[in-house]
Homo-oligomer: A and B are copies of this chain.
């Protein structure tokens, strides 16, 4: 038995660096053996930082490396699905950043390749591994709050991304709400059958000019009768706002934001604290470590990954349905968009 799982990293941008450093410094059960990036300097810099022995010129070189057991696909979204197909064909286990793609066709091709080659795939819905949300899931699983009735997710960014990013993002539902769609399914442990989205441009007219919205509420109907809401905004002036609340037959559970400290200052003006953690890499740092540990453990122990390939598809269906609901001003069933051809 090899002592460590050998990993190839594809993409050394923002999230690639997070995952690379996590594997290098926080997951002793795995080793990074190669890294590649469209920008060779980025790959080289990360290799130096994390002592990665090999800088590959492209992803194909990584897939061809016989020493590599698994790959982390952290490149731009439009490349995820094709890379996943190639990785699967090469017999590599796959950790793929979310979303797999913006279209169901490409997602389905990736899922088919994964299934056919019998490799494992985990999609990067890291928030499931956050201690707060994991606690909520545990509460529902254990029956602590009884049968769930209502769920409310607040998910607001500290500020909007650049307009250039908005234009290629696929729209707020696919880019931002996608995490919340996954969270909704994860927490309730049931599928959503219908969504109704109300949305608008409140933060920046340029976002509207780019054909997107920046503020939305999405109402979810679950197959088991639970009603959920997702409250999204591209800008929360006080910082990153990430909370959930579930009401059940025996009680409720809710979570608060994470703060850099727990100090409270009382003066003649107010009783106040510092702002919550402002950046997803601070807020979700621990979750990135936990998701990769779980991925490595799933591969090493030949267990199912905790966020499967199928888990990567459904939130895209939900996002497409939400977009359709917003455009048509009516509730939309997921079955209306789930069979392809709609993008």
Residues of A within 8 A of B (CB): 25-26, 28, 49, 131-132, 134-136, 139, 144-147, 149-150, 152, 154, 156, 196, 198-200, 202-203, 215-217, 219, 221, 225, 227, 229, 231, 233, 235-239, 241, 247, 249-258, 260-276, 329-331
Contacts and interface: CB of A to CB of B under 8 A. Distances in A.
A247 to B, nearest CB: 6
A249 to B, nearest CB: 7
Task: Tell me if A's interface is mostly helix, strand, loop or mixed.
Answer: mixed
A26 B285 CA distance: 14
Contacts of A331: 196, 329-330
Contacts of A265: 139, 144-145, 251-253
Contacts of A237: 146, 249-252, 266-268
Given A196-B219, A270-B274, A271-B276, 12 more contacts: A132-B263, A139-B263, A145-B265, A149-B203, A152-B152, A198-B221, A217-B219, A219-B219, A250-B268, A251-B265, A270-B273, A271-B273
User: How many chain copies?
Assistant: 4
A70 to B, nearest CB: 21
A229 B229 contact: yes
Contact of A264 (B131, B134, B250, B254): B254
A204 to B, nearest CB: 10
A152 B231 contact: yes
B263 A202 contact: no
Contact of A198 (B147, B219, B255): B219
Nearest to A267: B251
Contacts of A199: 227
A255 B266 contact: no
Nearest to A158: B268
A225 B247 contact: no
Contacts of A215: 149-150, 227
18 contacts: A25-B25, A135-B263, A149-B215, A196-B196, A229-B229, A231-B247, A233-B247, A238-B252, A238-B267, A253-B266, A254-B266, A256-B262, A270-B270, A270-B273, A271-B272, A271-B276, A272-B272, A272-B273
